[in-house]
Amino acid sequence: MAYAHAAGAHDDLAAHEEHRPHGWRRWVYATNHKDIGTMYLVFAGIMFFIGGFLAMLIRLELFKPGLQFFDPLFFNSLTTMHALIMIFGAIMPAWTGLANWQIPMQVGAPDMALPRLNNFSFWILPFAFTLLLATFFVPGGAPAGGWTMYPPLMLQGGAAFPMTIFAIHLMGASSILGSMNVIVTILNMRAPGMTLLRMPLFVWSWLITAYLLIAVMPVLAGAVTMLLTDHFFGTTFFTAAGGGDPVMFQHIFWFFGHPEVYILILPAFGIISEIIPTFSRKPIFGYEAMVYAIASIAFLSFIVWAHHMFTVGMPLAGQLFFMLTTMLIAIPTGVKVFNWCATMWKGSLTFEPPMLFAVSFLFLFTIGGLSGVMLAIVPADFQYQDTYFVVAHFHYVLVPGAIFGIIGGVYYWLPKWTGRMYDQTLGKWHFWLSAIFVNVLFFPQHFLGLAGMPRRIPDYAVQFTDWNMVSSIGGFGFGLSQLLFPYLIWKCIKHGTPIGNRAWEGAHGLEWELPSPPPFHSWETPPSEAVLAHAAVH
């Protein structure tokens, strides 16, 4: 009924389009999924460069032993803020931006289900991050207790402490609202005939991610609120002297924190599952297995949290339980990697920039996955825990994992969004520089960790100098290479060559049935069964 109405009102909608806000109002009052998606992506890009700048300051201080630039407390602020900005400011908003742009187009809907909520969930973010970044200028400096915020150390924070917690509350509210919107859109706005098991895998990965977010963001909010009341209102949730338990915070935090790492990576699985079939000119191998693998990973993410804290002194049975559940994650993750490989097998492969990022994701994410299996082995983890080996591991899954997934997704859909093809040679330069420097940056950190260098230290013993220098050079190279990305996007918007509906020869999915750039209200009339069949992803 609603669709029939929408179809009949087509001309009204076109007329309505003329009345939509222009200038600054277009953005501040935005309710359109593409405008909001663009704002999310631009915001994530800005945060990526701020967080990356902090990372380069960290690598600058670690270039050689001795303290050359920063007080150790400021160094701790750098690592803390780098993590908070990259996780909550860059990766998560980038995924929400991609969801906003793609989900309505991919399920055959005119827009997201809850447009005003969509506006609100975006506009919370600039306030949250203004508050967080402002902590650099308050007495005591930015938070320096690590992004994990373990008490009692976190409770020693100065004016930054309550500001950080309120900023996290705002980010959490934004994520929960955004996730509700994604779930409602996917479950209610699909075109007739677009059954759940016909949806593209990016939509599936986001549906599951959204449930994870709704499940765990309130847990984080609870944990930081208890920190707040411990500091200001005399409670002792995490103070042993008052009957509390500092380790309880870690349990609550990681009950949020482990699903959180899958929140950061699952949409990347979705993107890779879009890109690899397109450039292999072959449907995804084992579509249903891919869906079930994502769901299994999401389920397991709730029962592995204490593997982040094997050294806190858990009972033997607890250590064994968390070791075994953690190892189980390798099985669905393996299924995904094997299915991606099988998708390329007997394909017809070409290597445009999105495919290059997707292929390097396969290699480098697998390295991160294998070091993850090593970290699950509790006795060995007693050696790895809190060393650079862990830093190397999670950066391998987050940088060539999540970040390459985001960059690959932008390269994949940028022609659709702008209606123009970008400079692919420049995109390939961006890829090769990123792929080489990311390994120069993070691979030596495995060596440093195994040789005994702890993480989160501003200065180190001289035998760690050589590999730290290599890592820093990789860091500067990686950071500078990323400047190509905004330039390429600007050049694409200004000077790109116009393209048709289907930017890539092998691309399937409803978004490629729309013109490039797509109309303001993506699918004003739902796609017909013939269009759905033509766009089928598997």
Partner 1 sequence: MSKVAAAAALLPFAAAVRADSGWGLLNMTPGVTDISRKIYDLHMEVFWICVGIAVVVFGWMIWSLIAFRKSKGAVADTSLVHNTRVEIIWTALPVFILIAMAVPAARTLVDIEDTRNTELTIKVTGFQWGWNYDYLDDGVNYFSRLDRASDAARQLLSGIDPASVPNYLLNVDHPLIVPAGVKVRLLITGADVIHSWWVPAFGLKKDAIPGFINELWFRVDPDKTGLYRGQCVELCGRDHGFMPIVVDVRSKADFSAWLKATAAEQKQAAANAPAATPATG
Q: Enumerate residues 127-146 that contact partner 1 by CB under 8 A.
A: 144-146
Q: Of the listed 175, 360, 371, 387, which one is catalytic? A: 175
State the Cα–Cα distance between residues 20 and 440, nearest whole angstrom.
Answer: 49
Q: For partner 1, give the closer residue by CB, 23 or 313.
A: 313
Residue closest to 385 by CA, chosen among 314, 469, 328, 467:
314
Say which amino acid occupies 403: I
Whether residue 19 lies in the annotated active site: no
Give the tokens for residue 95: 């995924």
Is 188 one of the binding residues for partner 1 (CB under 8 A)?
A: no
- Phi, then psi, of 498 in degrees rounded to 5: -60, 145
16 is catalytic: no
User: In the annotation, is 174 catalytic?
Assistant: yes
Assess contact for 39 and 122: CB atoms under 8 A: yes
- 10 Å CB burial of residue 148 (0-12, 13-18, 19+) is middle
Q: Return the residue of 460, 478, 512, 523 that touches partner 1, per CB under 8 A.
A: 460
How many CB atoms lie under 10 A from the CB of residue 396? Answer: 25
Residue 410 structure tokens: 């932008």
Active site residue 40: no
DSSP code string of 50-89: HHHHHHHHHHHHTTSSS-SS--HHHHHHHHHHHHHIIIII
Give yes or no for residue 303 binding partner 1 (CB under 8 A).
Answer: no
Among residues 123 and 443, whose Cβ is nearest to partner 1? 443
When the beta carbons of 232 and 345 are compared against partner 1, the nearer one is 345
DSSP character string of 316-338: HHHHHHHHHHHHHTHHHHHHHHH
Residues 274-293 that bind partner 1 (CB under 8 A): 280-287, 289
Kindly state the smallest distance separating residue 330's Cβ from partner 1, in Å: 6
**Contacting partner 1 within 245-274 (CB under 8 A):** 245-247
The span from the CA of 75 to the CA of 81, in Å, is: 10
**Closest approach of Cβ 364 to partner 1, in Å?**
11
Amino acid (one-letter) located at 100: N
Binding-residue pattern over the window 48 to 67 for partner 1, x denoting contact by CB under 8 A: -----------------xxx
Q: How many residues bind partner 1 (CB under 8 A)?
A: 97
Encoded tokens for 334: 């393996």
β-sheet bridge partners, residue 498: 420
Cβ atoms of 139 and 159 within 8 Å: the answer is yes
Decide: is 73 part of the binding site for partner 1 (CB under 8 A). Answer: yes
Nearer to partner 1, 419 or 449 (CB): 449
83 binds partner 1 (CB under 8 A): no
Interface with partner 1, residue 458, by CB under 8 A: yes
Site string for partner 1, 145-184 (x = CB under 8 A): xx---x-xx--x----------------------------
Q: Which residues are catalytic?
A: 82, 111, 147, 174-175, 258, 260, 262, 273, 307-308, 333, 336, 455
